[in-house]
Amino acid sequence: MKQKLFDTISAYEHIIICRHERPDPDAIGSQAGLARLIERNTGKKVQLAGDEEPSLSFLSDMDTIDDTTFLESLVIVCDTANTGRIDDERYKNARELFKIDHHPVVDDYTPLAWVDPTFSSTSEMIVHWFDEIAAPQGWELDGECARLLFAGIVGDTGRFSHPNTTARTFKAVQLLYEREFDVRHLFNEMDKKPLALLRLEGEVLSGFALSENGVGVITLSQEQLRKYQVSVNESSAITHSVANVEGIVAWVTFVELEDKSYRVRLRSKGPIINEMASRFQGGGHPLAAGATAENDEERMQVIEQLEEVCKTYRT
Ligand SMILES: [Mn+2]
């Protein structure tokens, strides 16, 4: 499939790369990193689909793409397990669709799929693919491409601290580090936190508690988001801020949306939580998943099921 990816790219003049909605550094890093890699080595036009994400604009901006361009294009979808999350629905109009992803398969949306959950990130997959397939064909990877892919790996591995980090991850990072880019500036951008978010965090953390089973629950209301002027996307940082509390086994963040439903972020130190996420219109990795709770009743169900999962895990 890795060679097939190379051959398919070679067969098209127009290429569009998509990734999941509400992108993280791996989504944009792999999307823009692959685009740059192809453009630099083939001279082909590669466009980036999806909404702009202001908090990640230091990585890359997106392109405005005509409807007709999709019809004649190869569309590559990076880092997205299910069709519902592909940013820019027009991927459906593609001449051909290629999927590159490290999430466990949710939707089998194209026969042209290179999916391998043993990789830390889609960005690491791109580096591996470059090294094994493209570099022997004479392709080169420049500093800007290295910066994008490095950001993706850093993002998905929690700066090399998550269990998805392997020797192969460091091999990829070594290859990237040999290129020239400003690592310090990149980390500064990735770590940047609005003051308002820090204040909201303060309010949330001062009331934070753990249950008997080691479960932590954070609920952010629309009122709080408005009060502190923090966007739903920005609020994701709060999910990380309790990760290292002594005794924590798993935790969940609920962010109330305008329609009173909740965006659910589940994290775990051991118990598998993506199975329960799939019961709430979600999914993800075994230890990090997302879901939706339609109302307060479903919110309570998520908490109950997480308690149950942690209780079982501990006994
Ligand atoms: Mn990823």
47: left (phi over 0), alpha (psi -120 to 50) or beta: beta
- The verdict on 58 and 155 lying in the same domain is yes
Q: Are 152 and 201 in a shared domain?
A: no
Among residues 135, 164, 190, which one ends one of the domains?
A: 190
110 and 56, same domain (yes or no): yes
**Domain ranges, residue 214:** 195-314
Tell how far the Cα of 206 is from the centroid of ligand 1, in angstroms.
31
Answer yes or no: are the C-beta atoms of 254 and 275 closer than 8 Å. Answer: no
Between the CA of 212 and the centroid of ligand 1 the distance, in Å, is: 32
pLDDT tens-digit map of 75-122:
999 999 989 999 999 999 999 999 999 998 888 999 999 999 999 999
> What's the pTM value of the predicted model, to 2 decimals?
0.83
* Judgement on whether residues 68 and 113 belong to the same structural domain of the protein: yes
How far, in Å, is the centroid of ligand 1 from the Cα of 26?
A: 5
Residue 230 has, within 13 A of its CA and on its CB side, a CA count of: 27
Model confidence pLDDT, tens digit, residues 134-188: 999 999 999 999 999 999 999 999 999 988 999 999 999 999 999 999 999 999 9
Residue after which a domain boundary falls, among 156, 190, 224: 190
Same domain, 61 and 208: no
- Cα of 175 from ligand 1 centre, angstroms: 19
Q: Count of domains in the chain?
A: 2
Q: 229 CA to middle of ligand 1, Å?
A: 28
What is the CB neighbour count within 10 angstroms for residue 125?
28
CATH of the domain at 87: 3.90.1640.10
CATH number at residue 300: 3.10.310.30
Residue 151 Cα to ligand 1 middle (Å): 11
275 shares a domain with 217: yes
Burial class (CB in 10 A: 0-12, 13-18, 19+), 8: middle
